[in-house]
Every structure is written in structure tokens, then in C-alpha cells.
Amino acid sequence: MLPPFDLLALLLVASAGLATLNDKVLKLPLTVGLLVGAFGFTLLLIGLNGVFPSLALKPGIRLLLGGIDFPDILLKGFLGFLLFAGALQVNSADMMARKWTILALATFGTILSTGLVAASLLGVSSLLGLAVSLPWCLVFGALISPTDPVSVLDVLKRVGIPRHLQATVAGESLFNDGVGVVLFTLLLSAATASPAADPSVPHVAWLFVLEAGGGGLLGFALGTLAIAALRRVDDYNVELIISLALASGTYSVAGRLGVSGPVAVVVAGILVGNKGVSTAMSDTTRTHLMIFWRLIEEVLVALLFLLIGLEIAAIDLHWREIGATVAMIPIVLLARWCSVAASAIPLHLRLANKTGPLLILTWGGLRGGLSVAMALSLPDSPAKAPILTIAYGIVVFSIVVQGLTLAPLARRLMSERALPS
């Protein structure tokens, strides 16, 4: 097993090589190019391993990945910084103007999608003879329902949709991330029959409110404290360190207190990116802060999508699971459409044209590294292999197909005036 520094160096070199290949040959958006490049390279090595088993290429890749705890890296490392970086770029005025829509999508929409996906997977599993019981179907629904903020925010940078719709898509992806992690944790405890788990609905609802609401309060408190510190300093180097401390400290403290770290860092990031930038920073600090966090975001995103592409080596593909994946891709999209419609339309009954925004919210609900990380973090059980295969297939489809076609779809809807300005 390689030492951590050597692993990081190897991943950075691989990212640089694939990014260069993408820039010169593939010419895809960077994140998609890294995913496709790593995915294709891994499949090539697996194919060569099948022809020449003596090379032991697939076991070699697995040995390399064995030194990288992907769920731990993302859920306890990358995620806090990526969410904070994304939240810094969100306009709080646009988001507050659509707060009820975002809240409904992030909570009720995620819960409804979890139930719809779980019921569908139970049926598909029964038809194909897969060992996925109802509790594990609910776990799968929870890990695949949240839209991934890293994937969504990356695509939004390239899509020219109206600001109010951008704020809705970005806001939902940032907050339903925390909601999804909380829901996944609670349902996983029930599925594994944890002795400490109380499966009653009131208890689960209370834990849900406690974790998500507690995370929001913690993020607000620490974000306010950080802004007070920023007002007393006029050195952008020190202020950048304060922002780093806020992102990492908030996520860490949230974990210690048992509240949602993702929700906490999103709230803290929005506070600093809006109130902090406007009232506690000079123009010089503001410029350096945004450049600094964009650089962190780009490097972490590059490593994340490279790892997603390589993780195909961790999956043993079987025809039944491939069939289930093909069946579940349109089902997950349909569940997304139903959950968005049920969550958002009642709040916008007076909107003349609902079709365009509904399509954008449905097709723009990308899944990404968070779903893969949660699937990989599952304990060993007969359900883990099919859940991991299906989740991975949906994520790859989402990033590549939905990610590449969202911009053309948005432009077509705008040209047809299906999107309100």
C-alpha cells in the first residue's frame, strides 16, 4: 500500500494527464472528461486483465483503491470544503426569494423520491431475483435521491438559465445533500437492525429535525462569529485562514455534536459569501477569497471525478445487476419528476408555464460522488453488490448524459419561451 503522500501525488499526476488529454482530444467539460477518461482507462485495464490474467491488472487497481477510503475521503474530507466553496457563490437574496420552494424540494421532495425509488427497486429486485429487501431498498432510495451539489454547480456554470431558476437548482442541491445524508444514516440504522435504532416514525422525524435543524443553527452561529472576526482584520492572508478554519471547524464540530455537517457548512458559507463579503471584507480580500476557494474547488472536484471513474474496478458486474441498472435509470428520473412536481407546483399554481422549470429541475437533478460514497460505505450484505452497481450506473449516466445535455435543453426551452425570464 502506497503512503498517503504518494497516493495523493499519483492521483494529481493522473488528474493532470487526463485533464490534458481531455483538453486536446475529448474536449468535454473538465469534470465529465476526467470521469470518462478514468472510466475508459479502468475498463481498458480490466479488459486486458481478462485477456491476460497473469498481468493481474484488476487486482492491482483494487489494491491501489484499497489505500483510498473513498467514502471517508468524501464524507469526512472533501464534502465540507466543496459545499462551503459552492455556498460562497450563492446569492442569498435570490435564494431567500425562493426559500419555500427550495425547502420543499430539499425535504419533502427528497423524502418522496426515496419512497418512490425504494418501491420501484423492490419490484425490479423481485422480477430479477436480486437480494434487496424493503429496508435496503429504502437505503438505496435515500442515497440516490439527493442531487449532488458538486455535479449540479459545475453544470450550472455552463448553463444559461434564468437567475431565479439557477438559485432554486443550486439551493436545493446544497441543502438536500445534508437532508439525504441524515435520511440515509437513519434508514441504514434501521436496515442493519442497530440496537440503538428506534424505527418509529415520530422518533425518526425527531432525529431528522434535530440533525438538519441543529446543523443550520450551528452554521449560522459559527458563520456569524467568523464574520465578526473578519471585520476586525484587514489582511487577506489572515482572512483566508479564517475562512478555511470556518469550513473545516464547522464540519468537524457538527460531527462531534451529532448534527448535520453539510447543512452547517452550507449555512456558514452562504453567510460569509453574502453578508461577510459585503460588510466585512475589502475588495482585495473579496477577490482573493473567491479565487482561493475556486482553486480549492477545482482541485478537489478533479480528484473526486477521477476517483469516481476509477471506482468501476471495485464493482463485480453481473447481468442481473446490469439489467436492474438499465431499468432503474428511467425510474429514478421519473421519481425525480414526480417529487419535483409534488414539491414545487403547489407553491407556483399561478405560474402560467410550469413545464420548462419542471423539466430543468428534473433533468438538472444530477447525482454524483455523494451517492457513490454512500453506496461504498454500506456494510457487507447480500444487498450491497446490487445497490453499488445500480448506484454507480445511475451516477455515470447522470454526469455524462444529463450533464452534457442540460445546456442544450435549457437553450431550447429558452428559445421556445418555456422558461420564464
pLDDT for 183-220, tens place per residue?
898 889 888 875 555 556 676 677 778 888 899 999 99
CA neighbor of 176 nearest in space, from 208, 204, 138: 208
At residue 271, the pLDDT reads 95
pLDDT above 60 (res 366): yes
Is residue 178 within 8 Å of residue 49, measured between CB atoms? no
At residue 155, the pLDDT reads 72
% residues pLDDT > 70 (the chain): 93
At residue 347, the pLDDT reads 66
Is residue 128 within 8 Å of residue 324, measured between CB atoms? yes
Q: According to CATH, what is the number of the domain 70-415?
A: 1.20.1530.20
Residue with cell 497516493: 7
d(CA 245, CA 267): 15
Q: What is the DSSP string of 227-262?
A: HHHHHT---HHHHHHHHHHHHHHHHHHHHHHTS-HH
DSSP 197: -
> Which sign does the torsion angle of CA 39, 166, 168, 286 carry?
positive
Q: What is the DSSP string of 377-392?
A: TSPSSTTHHHHHHHHH
Q: Helices 134-144 and 384-397: crossing angle, nearest 10°?
A: 30
Mean per-residue pLDDT, 359-387: 90
Any idea what the Cα angle at residue 394 is, between residues 393 and 397, rounded to 5°?
Answer: 85
Please, what's the largest Cα pairwise distance for the chain? 66
pLDDT in tens, 12-45: 898 999 999 999 998 988 888 889 998 888 888 8
pLDDT above 80 (res 354): no
DSSP 313: G
pLDDT above 90 (res 248): yes
Cβ contacts of residue 72 below 8 Å, gap of 6+?
Answer: none
pLDDT band at 408; cut points 50, 70, 90: confident
CA neighbor of 361 nearest in space, from 377, 339, 331, 388: 339
pLDDT in tens, 251-271: 999 999 989 999 999 999 999
At residue 72, the pLDDT reads 86
CA neighbor of 390 nearest in space, from 420, 362, 367: 367
Cβ contacts of residue 406 below 8 Å, gap of 6+?
Answer: 155, 159, 360, 363, 364
Ordered by start, the domain boundaries in the chain are 4-66, 70-415
Mean pLDDT estimate for the chain: 87
Looking at 131-258, list the stretches that DSSP marks H as alpha helix, in order from N- to C-terminal side.
Answer: 134-144, 149-156, 163-191, 201-231, 236-257
Count CA atoms closer than 13 A to 293's CA, side-chain side: 28
Lowest mean pLDDT among 197-206, 281-290, 292-301: 197-206
> Which sign does the torsion angle of CA 19, 22, 25, 29 carry?
negative
pLDDT above 70 (res 279): yes
d(CA 416, CA 337): 21
At residue 200, the pLDDT reads 63
Q: Find how far residue 217's CA is from the centre of its chain.
A: 22
At residue 201, the pLDDT reads 65
Buried b (16+ CB within 10 A) or exposed e, 303-323: bbbbbbbbbbbbbeeeeebee
pLDDT in tens, 55-84: 777 777 777 777 788 888 888 888 899 999
At residue 344, the pLDDT reads 81
Q: Find how far residue 296's CA is from the centre of its chain.
A: 17
pLDDT above 70 (res 349): no
At residue 409, the pLDDT reads 85
Count CA atoms closer than 13 A to 221's CA, side-chain side: 11
d(CA 27, CA 128): 39
pLDDT in tens, 144-189: 999 887 777 777 667 777 777 888 888 898 888 888 888 898 889 8
Q: Helices 30-51 and 4-21: crossing angle, nearest 10°?
A: 110
At residue 360, the pLDDT reads 87
At residue 353, the pLDDT reads 67
At residue 420, the pLDDT reads 65
| Residue with more model confidence, 275 or 311 | 275
d(CA 48, CA 139): 35
Angstrom CA distances, 76 to 79, 102, 255, 261, 313, stand at 7, 25, 9, 9, 23
| Residue with more model confidence, 162 or 233 | 233
Write out the three cell numbers for 411. Answer: 437553450
